[in-house]
Amino acid sequence: MLLSSKPLRRLASTALCVALVALSLAGRARADVVDDVFGKRGVLSKHFAGYAPRQGQIEYAKAVEAAISSGEPLLAEGPTGTGKSFGYAVPAIYHAATQGKKVIIVTGNIALQEQLVGKDLPFLQKALPWKFSYELLKGRSNYVCDAKLLLRKQQTPSERSKGLDADQRKQAGQVQRWAGKSKTGDVSELPFKPSHDVWKRFSVSSEQCAGVACPLYGACKPDLQRDRVKAANVVVTNYHMFFSRLKRAGEEGPFGKDTIVIFDEAHKAADIAREVMGEDLRMAEIRFIAFKLRELGHAPLAATLEGKAKQFFSALALHLREARQGQRIGVNNPVAWQALGKALDDAAAKLLEIGAQHVDGKTIQRVAGEAIRASKHLKRAMGAGKDKDWVHYLEVPERGQAPSVLASRPLDVSGMLQRKLFNGKHRPIVTSATLSVNGSFEHVARELGIKSYRGVNVRSPFDYKSNSLVIVPKDIPLPNEPGYQEAVAKVFKQVVEMAGGRTLGLFTSYRNMDAAHQAVLGSKKVQGAKLALLRQGDKPRTQLVEQFRKDETSVLVGTESFWAGVDVPGKSLSVVVIDRLPFPHAHDPMAQGFGVKDPSGWFSKYSLPRAGIALKQGHGRLIRSQQDRGVVVILDRRLTEKKYGQTHLLPTLPDAPMSHDLADVGRFLAKKPSARKRARTRTRTPTRTRTRSTKR
């Protein structure tokens, strides 16, 4: 074929170059793949103007590639700015495309999922020379059930709206119209978030799905998405979904053997595994069973079940008088639960009886199964002779509502994870910005059941020595001494005044948070400057963080949920104040459970590592980019005076100057030389990339 025009010849030349690059990369030794993508003249340099390789990212990606090739589990800590998502995705995609491996990327929050599926993977799909497909895996309850939608179309308006208030009826109508047009049926496509009571009328859980008995089996939207997930090279999902599948899977795992499994934000993994492997008794679940009984013509039995459930949860409410939202309260005192247990047993028996003869028998029998499971959980949680390997507690609800969740959690999930995931049949990558404590991965390895592994600590790309300062005031009482709360409030007010706002307050208790908030409210300097004071609970978390980001002089205070995931680069976040070392609360049922199970080792194996990771998370809110600079103020002298603070917690933080003079907040932010002269640098090994193999 003759090319008669310059554009055609140029096009052919470009296509040939791309093909040659792809052929070259596909044939390169695996060790070279990382350099070919991340190097100075690599693939990424062709797509980013002024691209400069990040040594930490290259070291990280090479460690991931080596681990995938060998099959040895990798525990890798990549601080903020490392570029972890590209660092693990590129080697994994290479193995998926060239060797047919399945890749599962598991994340801890929606934001990272959206980044991967909406930005990172689409970019890599275009930039890399290897063809691959990707899908997002969600639970079935995130999608419209086409069978329910078909049934609703056959119902009268009064039947469809039964049990819904005016707002819910409006929502249901909007969902109905959207569902009829949507190609995916994914609830995230809705422009609003439907209430739980509305959405459950359009969706089913995996347990509620009729499966092969459904006339639409294999052709409904969730099943079609499931087929796309099966065919994809790369699957992105969350921990709840992954562990739910792992719970039901055999030793080959939920996606078959020899899968590349990447745990991102892996410091959360063990706790989420406990949640998924545990059991919950919810008022909403009992209402659903009662709803089914009424639908089948057994209203008296339904009323009895709901009445006993309300009595039970009302009795439990006595435990919550002094509790705050987000806390967990242990179930230690006997509460009359037998009546609810009998009502659940009666409901299950009746549903099984009806299901044996009903045309929709399998669906009814599944509801009966839910009643049986609820009854067993109730007896296990409330009955005598509780298993010390399990912890039972109440979750404090929002806005002062009555308690509606009785939770049971296993203390140890390592055995199950070792049998089904870390068993030599898969290729696991375990990573996070905060995975180690004092450079050691032993805590997370023990929690996840990893017997041997390779550990890598990647050097931070940020210059903490020049751009940050840690202040631990010496003249503040210890947390267990009188006057501590008042001192925290006073110091927080002083810091806000010196910084002109621009402060994030991270607290370990609502009382300390409220006291600090009130102190700032009463400051004449703050009032005169008209600084915006943002407090957890006043608005949804996302709105508070967004307002804090936009208003450079604002102040934000929050408790546990604000210690991680707050990403505010720039001057809006110039100071982080931490009230006390974030040890698990002594009254937390999980902490108490570990104390009972391992009285001599619970502090070193459970409490201290968790405090170290949480402290690193809190400190990590400060420096989010190369241009950021600021101060972290920690109002707990135990960090520098107690042996465990000096040997375990302090070395966990990035290497930065330290001061005991609160006035250095203003000096440092004003860039006055005296701040640097007064600051004393800690003497310890500087942060570096560390690699080691460990057998436990």
The answer to whether residue 675 scores a pLDDT higher than 50 is no
CA distance 413 to 277: 8
The whole-angstrom separation of Cα 137 and Cα 241 is 8
pLDDT at 122: 97
pLDDT of amino acid 399: 47
Residue 696 pLDDT class (50, 70, 90 cuts): low
Q: Which residues pair with 407 in a beta bridge?
A: 280, 393
Which residue from 626, 602, 330, 344 is spatially nearest to 460, judged by alpha carbons?
A: 626
Q: What angle do CA 278, 284, 287 make, to 5 degrees?
A: 125
Q: Which of helix, strand or coil describes residue 427?
A: strand
Residue whose entry in the numeric block shows the structure tokens 């890598």: 456
pLDDT at 17 over 80: no
- Determine contact, residues 437/648, Cβ cutoff 8 Å: yes
Structure tokens at 528: 């005169």
Q: How far apart are CA 223 and CA 31, in angstroms?
A: 39
| Phi, psi values for residue 255, rounded to 5° | -120, 15
Q: Which of 588, 591, 566, 586 is nearest to 576 (CA)?
A: 566
Residue 2 has pLDDT above 50, yes or no: no
Please compute the mean of the pLDDT values over residues 127-138 and round it to a whole number: 95
Domain ranges for the chain: 280-410, 464-685
pLDDT at 7: 45
Enclosing H/E stretch for 303: helix 299-316
The model's confidence at residue 202, banded by pLDDT at 50, 70 and 90, is: very high
State the DSSP H helix or E strand holding residue 578, giving kind and residue range, or none if neither: strand 575-578
Tell me if 534 sits within 8 A of 547, measured CB to CB: yes
> Which of the listed ranges 198-207, 263-272, 663-672 does the model predict with the highest average pLDDT?
263-272
Q: What percent of the chain has pLDDT over 90?
A: 67
Instruction: Please check whether residue 115 is in contact with residue 275, taking contact to mean a CB–CB distance below 8 angstroms.
Output: no
Residue 575 near residue 504 (C-beta atoms within 8 A)? yes
Q: 444 and 270 in contact (C-beta within 8 Å)?
A: yes
pLDDT confidence bin for 327, thresholds 50/70/90:
low
3-state secondary structure of 479: coil
- pLDDT winner (highest mean) among 65-74, 288-297, 329-338: 65-74
- What's residue 22's pLDDT? 47
In angstroms, rounded to a whole number, what is the distance separating the alpha carbons of residues 467 and 350?
Answer: 68
Fold of 464-685: Rossmann fold (3.40.50)
pLDDT at 495 over 80: yes
User: Per residue in 218-257, pLDDT tens?
Assistant: 999 999 999 999 999 999 999 999 999 999 887 777 888 8
Q: For 18-74, what is each residue's pLDDT tens digit? A: 444 444 444 455 558 999 999 999 999 999 988 999 999 999 999 999 999 999 999
- The pLDDT, as a whole number, for residue 680 is 43
What pLDDT, on the 0 to 100 scale, is given for residue 484? 98
Q: What are phi and psi of 409, to 5 degrees?
A: -135, 140
Print burial letters for 438-475: b (CB count within 10 Å at least 16), e (below 16): bebbbbbbbbbbbeebbbbbbbbbbebeebbbbbbbee
User: Which stretches of 100-163 are DSSP H helices?
Assistant: 110-115, 121-127, 146-154, 157-161
Q: Is the pLDDT of residue 1 over 50?
A: no
DSSP letter (8 states) at residue 143: B
Residue 673 has pLDDT above 70, yes or no: no
Dihedral of alpha carbons 407, 408, 414, 416, sign: negative
Q: What is the pLDDT of residues 639-672, one digit of tens each?
A: 999 999 999 999 999 999 999 999 999 999 997 5
- Residue of higher predicted confidence among 19 and 624: 624
pLDDT, one tens digit per residue, over 339-353 is 999 999 999 999 999
Q: Please, which pLDDT band fits residue 683 given cuts at 50, 70 and 90? A: very low
What pLDDT is stored for residue 642 in this prediction? 97
User: Who's near 477: CB < 8 A, 6+ residues apart?
Assistant: 483, 484, 487
Cα of 120 vs its chain's centroid, Å: 19
pLDDT score at 285: 87
Residue 307, pLDDT score = 94
Query: Is the model more confident about 167 or about 517?
Result: 517
| DSSP code, position 679 | P
Taking the C-alpha atoms of 518, 523, 529 and 533 in order, what is their torsion angle to the nearest 10 degrees? Answer: -10
Weakest mean pLDDT among 84-98, 422-436, 461-475, 673-687 = 673-687
- For residue 553 the two structure tokens come to 């002089």
Bridge partners (DSSP) of residue 409 are 391
To the nearest whole percent, how much of the chain has pLDDT over 70? 88
3-state SS class at 403? coil
